[in-house]
Amino acid sequence: MILGIGTDLANIDRIQGTLDRFGDRFRNRVFTEIEQSKAERRADVAGTYAKRWAAKEACSKALGTGLAMGIAWKDMSVTNLRTGQPVMHVTGWAADRLKEMTPEGYEAIIHVTLTDDHPWAQAFVVIEARPLHDAPAQP
């Protein structure tokens, strides 16, 4: 079952302007060390940060809270599998909220997808609840 859906659209030029103006202060407030490492070694640094910004916004919406209700930016982070597929991780208050909204007997799976086409970066997050134990096979 679907527990939550969120999306966000971020302007890459706006993120570049924020990086230019606030630099490490912005990076360290919003992004984990892993996210910063990934972004800083990419050709499109601002685009990489913008996609992760959008993912955090989308995740907070899927959690049903937005960022105003106590979730910290770093409570949500994006890494990538070897295949390049993005993976959303939640800690702190975001993890608590995810646990609270997940029905007993289910596990929550967070799906995230990212895309960009300058000057836009976009993310979609879907939170799915899967039964912990599959129903027995029917004969």
**Nearest by Cα to 125 from 9, 10, 6:** 6
Q: Which of 138, 128, 123, 120 is nearest to 47 (CA)?
A: 120
Helix (H/G/I), strand (E/B), else coil: 133:
coil
CA distance 24 to 17: 13
Residue 8 marked ligand-binding: yes
Would the annotation count 117 as a binding residue?
Answer: no
C-alpha distances in angstroms, 102 versus 24, 29, 115, 123? 35, 28, 28, 22
Block residue for tokens 């809270």 = 65
Binding-site positions for Mg(2+) read: 8, 57
Binding-site positions read: 8, 57
